[in-house]
Amino acid sequence: MTAVDLFSKSFQADPYPAYATLREESPVHHVQGPMGSDIWLITRYDDARAALADPRFSKDPKRAPEWAKMMAAGVGDEGPLGANMLNSDPPDHTRQRRLISMAFTRRRIERLRPRIQEITDGLVAAMAEQKEVDLVAALSYPLPITVICELLGIPGEDRDEFGRWTRMLLASPMTPEGVQSRREGNQHMDRYLTDLVATLRAEVNPDLDYDAQPNLISALVVPGKGDQLNERELLGMLKLLLVAGHETTVNLISNGTVALLLHPDQFRLLRERPELMPNAIDEFLRYNGPIERVPMRFTTEDVEIAGTTIPAGSAVNIVLAAADHDPSRFDDPDRLDITRAQNPHLAFGHGVHFCIGAPLARVEGDVAFSTMLARFPKIELACRPEELAWQIGGPNIMRGLASLPLVLHT
């Protein structure tokens, strides 16, 4: 049986060969998780897609007593982001998602495109003044954090703090230092958001409809407008939107840039045919997406998949990175192909937990890549590919770079 160390540097640098072996030899695979926990990995596309929509895979950690105990020891019963729709099941999930869904419709997000373009233009102009830049610090991070903070109503001068707190929240729970980091990041964010919500609630105009409010927090606290999130849910939802609303796009932009640089034929093609950009975004998401494994799910009963029984009360990782490289679903899956006609990737999930921020991520990616390609006729890695530092942490679900040094030619 293949042994997989999810937290080794070699695995995180390139997990795809190991996932390919698991798909063939052990598509439902038992591994050692953080702090002695047990995790089941699901790696084949059809199994992963089915599991994402299967109500027997709950988002409630209390379904897995050992896992719930570990989470409580780290940052609380509900994990680092608290109570939110990501770790809830219907009907709570349905109610919470409905309350914020209007903020993330395609039509509303498209109305943000001019502002997203304005932010990107300023960041790219600053990049052009340097010969070498770290793309993460120069564009991949500041673009989505600025957008999501403006959408929520968080003052610009406080945005860097959220980046620091997010990194603390996503620290590994495998060490006492990591647990303390997660706890402190959670406390900082809770205190700040509690005060901000109180301020915006005192200023809100109750005569304005949801869509007319100046920001999402104000829209969520308008009194007398039907069903609302309670205080605990509101805090958890805001943390979720802040973290998921920028971390995933950071990785989309950085991972997609690396993919293009390591496939110069596809880079040339995208320059020659910019109309392929929406297709390219989907291929970046499939090829080396921002989410490697979905947030943990927990079996409510024994579940049999591919001849293996996952016991009730087990913690399960559905591995998007493996499913989106499954040759039974994608032709030549380990090749970047921005012309790929059929691309039903799972990077945004599937089922009731399909990523509500998908339209925003697509627009931000489109604007970022289009602007970079138009501004810089040549972009090169400023290090060897094997020197790139991939983020590793905890039962971390993200796949992204700590930094991406580039040489820019104007």
> In which residue are the tokens 């699901």 written?
42
At 223, phi and psi to the nearest 5? Answer: -75, 150
For residue 66, the SS3 value is helix
C-alpha distances in angstroms, 387 versus 100, 181, 382, 401, 402? 40, 27, 10, 11, 11
**Average pLDDT score over the chain:** 88
pLDDT at 73: 59
Which residue ranges make up each domain of the chain? Answer: 9-409
**Quick one: pLDDT band at residue 145, thresholds 50, 70, 90?**
very high
Residue 34 clears pLDDT 70, i.e. is over it: no
Task: Find which of 18-32, 73-87, 112-126, 225-239 is predicted with most confidence, using mean pLDDT.
Answer: 112-126
User: Under CATH, what is the fold of the domain 9-409?
Assistant: Cytochrome p450 (1.10.630)
The pair of structure tokens assigned to 48 is: 């992963």
Report the sign of the C-alpha dihedral through residues 65, 66, 68, 73, in that order.
positive
What proportion of the chain, given as a percentage, has pLDDT over 70? 91
Q: List pLDDT tens digits, range 51-97.
A: 999 999 998 887 787 776 666 655 555 555 667 777 788 888 888 88
Q: List pLDDT tens digits, range 292-304.
A: 999 889 999 999 9
At 165, phi and psi to the nearest 5? Answer: -65, -35
Asked whether the beta carbons of 5 and 144 are under 8 A apart, the reply is no
Residue 224 clears pLDDT 70, i.e. is over it: no
- In angstroms, the CA 36 to CA 322 distance is 24
Asked whether the beta carbons of 59 and 297 are under 8 A apart, the reply is yes
Q: List pLDDT tens digits, range 174-188.
A: 677 877 888 888 889
Type of residue numbered 336 = L
pLDDT at 342: 87
